[in-house]
Amino acid sequence: MPRLIAFLKRTNHGLTVISIVAMMIMLIVGVYNIAGRALFHRPLLAAIEITELSSVIFVVCGMAYTQLTGSNVIVPVIIEKLPPRARAIFDSCTLFISMAMVAVLAWSGTVFAIETIQKSEITNILAIPTAFFRASWVAGCAFLFIALTSHFIQAVNRAGKR
């Protein structure tokens, strides 16, 4: 288990850097598009496409990081009143449901990525192949699934303690 968490932390550091680069691309494209539209009456032609593709990378690279660092939004209204063992059982259940949902997302993403590869799908304006972005979604779901699994195992261990 410690090896898995160490691997995830190393991998997530790299994914965080990629996510930051994607966010910077979105920021630069947005500023350039707005300035071009306002000052020169010429917006950036493919601004929406570039922003969409950068958003995919940003979200994909940030999902597992958010789960591993506990940065995701949690509303502890009911949970904080539960005893530690009950809280661990509740955490185990919610993590299991999350794992199931992410598995479905990864499976459907895989099917969609395969279809994209078979059809040689490209974006409308820049003609960028979309297969990489579909596959990156599946990879992001896989990393998120691994992060959820490690937290699920920890929650089950906490729930088993008396």
Task: Name the pTM for this structure.
Answer: 0.84
pLDDT at 22: 92
d(C-alpha 118, C-alpha 7), whole Å: 33
Distance of CA 142 to the CA centre of its chain: 10
Q: What does the block give as tokens for 75?
A: 């509303």
Q: Which residues contact 135 (CB under 8 A, 6 or more apart)?
A: 113
Strand partners, 129: 122
Predicted confidence (pLDDT) per residue in 101-156, tens digit: 999 999 999 999 999 999 999 999 999 999 999 999 999 999 899 889 988 999 99
Nearest to 15 by CA among 68, 74, 53: 68
Domain region containing 114: 2-160
Are 75 and 57 a contacting pair, CB within 8 Å?
Answer: no
Return the amino acid letter for 158.
Answer: R
Count of domains in the chain? 1
Predicted confidence (pLDDT) per residue in 81-108, tens digit: 888 888 899 999 999 999 999 999 999 9
